[in-house]
Amino acid sequence: MFCEKAMELIRELQRSNEGQLPAFNEDGLRQVLQEMESLYEQNQTDVNEAKSDGRSELIPSIKLRHCCLLRNQRCLTAYLYDRLLRIRALRWEYGSVLPANVRFHMCAEEVQWFSQYKKSLASFMRSLGGGEGLDITQDMKPPKSLYIQVRCLKDHGELEIDDGTVILLKKNSQHFLPRWKCEQLIRQGVLEHVMS
C-alpha cells in the first residue's frame, strides 16, 4: 500500500514519548517525497490519457493516487510540525544552549529555527518591564525564598554569583545559592534542590 513510509515517520515520533526528539529521519523523508513524485507522474499520464482518449474509467485510480498524495503531505507536515513543538520545548527545558547529543538530532533547518526562536524569545523578554527585561523562564513555580540549598550531582566547574564570588561546583558538595542562579542547573540535572 502507498503511504507506508510516511506512517513509519509518524510512528517513530509517537514512540518517543515525553517530548523526546528522535534523530531527523532524512532518509525516510526522501523516500516519501520520491513516492509522491512517482504518484504525481502516474497521475499526469492517466489524466492526459483520460482527457485525450476520453478514458473516464481511469478517474477512480487517479482519485486514489491523489488521496495518497494528500495523505503523504499531511504526514510530512505533521511530522515536521510536531518536531518543531518538541524543539521549542527544548528551549524551556534545557535553556538556550543545547547539549551536543540533542543538537545532533536536528537537521540544519531545525537548528536555524531553534536559534531564531531563541532570539525572538530573548528580545521579547528584554522588552518586558519597561526596558528592564524579565526572564520569564525563571520561577516556573512560585518561589518560597530567595536562596535555596542545593547539592551538586556532578562536577560542573565554576559558577559566579551576583556579588562576584566564584563557587566551585564539585560532585556531592552542598551550597546555599540564589534561587534564580540554580533553577536552570537543577532542570539540567547538575544540581539537586535539597528541601529542609
Partner 1 sequence: MDTQSYLPVKPGVGMEENFLSLDDILLSHERLPIRTECSFPRLGFLEKSSDSHDIPEGTKMELPLWLSKGLYEKKRRVLSVELPKVYREGWRTVFNADPNVVDLHKMGPYYYGLGSQMLHFDSPENPEIAQTLLQTFIGRFRRNMDSSQNAYNEDTSALVERLDCLEKALFSSGQSGLNSFQSWEKGRASQLTASSLVLNYRKRKINDLQP
Partner 2 sequence: MDASEVEFLAEKETVKIIPNFSLDKIYLIGGDLGPFNPGLPVDVPVWLALNLKQRQKCRIVPPAWMDVDKLEEMRDLERKEDTFTPVPSPYYMELTKLLLNFASDNIPKADEIRTLVKDIWDTRIAKLRLSADSFISQLEAHAKLDNLTLMEINTIRAFLLDSLNCLYKLRSNQHPGSSKGQFADF
Q: Candidates 51, 55, 74, 171: give the one binding partner 2 (CB under 8 A).
A: 74
Q: Is 136 helix (H, G, I), strand (E, B) or coil?
A: coil
Residue type, 23: A
Is 89 a residue that touches partner 1 (CB under 8 A)?
A: yes
Residues 6+ apart with CB under 8 A from 4: none
Which is nearer to partner 2, 71 or 91 (by Cβ)?
Answer: 71
Q: Which residue stretch of 58-66, 110-118, 127-135, 163-171 sits at the interface with partner 1 (rule: CB under 8 A)?
A: 58-66
Is 195 a residue that touches partner 2 (CB under 8 A)?
A: no
Binding site for partner 1 (CB under 8 A): 1-3, 7, 10-11, 13-14, 18-20, 42, 46, 57-58, 60-61, 63-64, 66-68, 70-71, 74-75, 77-78, 81-82, 85-86, 88-90, 92-94, 99, 101-102, 140-142, 144, 148, 179, 182-183, 186-189, 192-193, 195
Binding site for partner 2 (CB under 8 A): 67, 70-71, 74, 141-142
